[in-house]
Amino acid sequence: MTAQRQRRTLFDIDLRPPTQSARRGPLALRRAPVPGSGIARVEFRRIGSRTTVRISPWRGDASTAQVVTVGGPVPDEAMVLDLLQLLGCRGVTTILTAALSTDDQRPFTAAGFTPLEHLALMHRSLHPGEPAPPNRSTHRLRRIGRLRLADALEADAEAFSTFTPFWWFDGAAYTEACQATDLSRQRCVRNDGQIVAYAITGRSSTSGFVQRLAVRPGHEGRGIGSALLADAISWLALGGVRDVWVNTQPDNDRARALYRRHGFGEKAEGLTVLQYETAR
């Protein structure tokens, strides 16, 4: 492994279904979509008799859609094929799934989807009444705020510049991550007025998700990521969360070691994001 590959920044994103949006969103557009217009905003559609999917533009690109099951059983192959036809007529050229387990991938692979990215899945349990670990960090955690968003995204771009475009984050992805769960917490660490690291944490019911954790190159190894993660776990514990989940790259040794130090264990199977190109 090269020195560049060994030097990893911290990155995590959770692609689980957004329960809040699923409850509030309509099952179909109020106005008929324009053929060939792509996916301009989040939509909810029922496929089959009981399955509801969330369709959203990926990273703000109307020609690329992400499909996530948010209600009912996992779609079967026939449902997936119907969805492909619908999105193809809308002018969508690329379709991505959420991060799926092996069993949930089967109807999509049968319909022609192929693997795009594999994610290591890590988990830790929280128990009612369990005291939060003491925070001995000297790093001051702050809210990010709307005026600091550009600074956070700049830190993100530096942190993940060596990763494939799948992992890159922009304003649309940031907003989607913050809205993907019932409650969301965004915290950052600043140095000389500049954001050097930040985290997005979300919770829905008794499940919690570390959705993004980024540290600028040159600031790793100083306990900043650990301080942000400890804050995230404490916030989730106070909210009654029982299970905390996080995804990262399988070869991101720095991130995986950080999570293990905070009580996470790795699930053997992991998850995979699938892709379909409608133009092929």
In CATH, the architecture of 3-13+122-267 is 3-Layer(aba) Sandwich (3.40)
Here the contacts of 181-186 (C-beta below 8 Å, separation 24 or greater) are 181/18, 181/19, 181/20, 181/209, 181/211, 182/19, 182/20, 183/239, 185/232, 185/235, 186/143, 186/144
172 has pLDDT over 80? yes
pLDDT for 256 equals 94
Here the contacts of 71-79 (C-beta below 8 Å, separation 24 or greater) are 71/22, 72/48, 74/103, 74/104, 74/107, 75/47, 75/48, 75/51, 75/107, 76/48, 76/107, 77/107, 77/110, 77/111, 78/48, 79/47, 79/48, 79/51, 79/107
Where are the domain boundaries for CATH 3.40.630.30 in the chain? 3-13+122-267, 19-119+272-277
Question: What's the topology of domain 19-119+272-277?
Answer: Aminopeptidase (3.40.630)
pLDDT for 48 equals 86
Tens digits of residue pLDDT in 79-136: 999 999 999 999 999 999 999 999 999 999 999 999 999 999 999 999 877 666 666 7
* Helical spans, DSSP H, in 146-252: 149-159, 171-179, 224-238
Tens digits of residue pLDDT in 184-203: 999 999 999 999 999 999 99
> Does this model's pTM top 0.85?
no
| Dihedral, CA of residue 113, residue 89, residue 169 and residue 162, to nearest 10 | 50
Q: Are strands 243-248 and 207-215 parallel, antiparallel or unpaired?
A: parallel
SS3 category, 276: strand
Percentage above 90 pLDDT, the chain: 59
pLDDT for 239 equals 93
Query: Cα 189 to the chain's mean position, in Å?
Result: 21
Which residues does 86 contact at the CB level (< 8 Å), separation at least 6? 45
Please provide residue 74's backbone torsions phi and psi, each rounded to the nearest 5 degrees: -60, 135
Residue type at 275 in one-letter notation? Q
Percentage above 70 pLDDT, the chain: 84
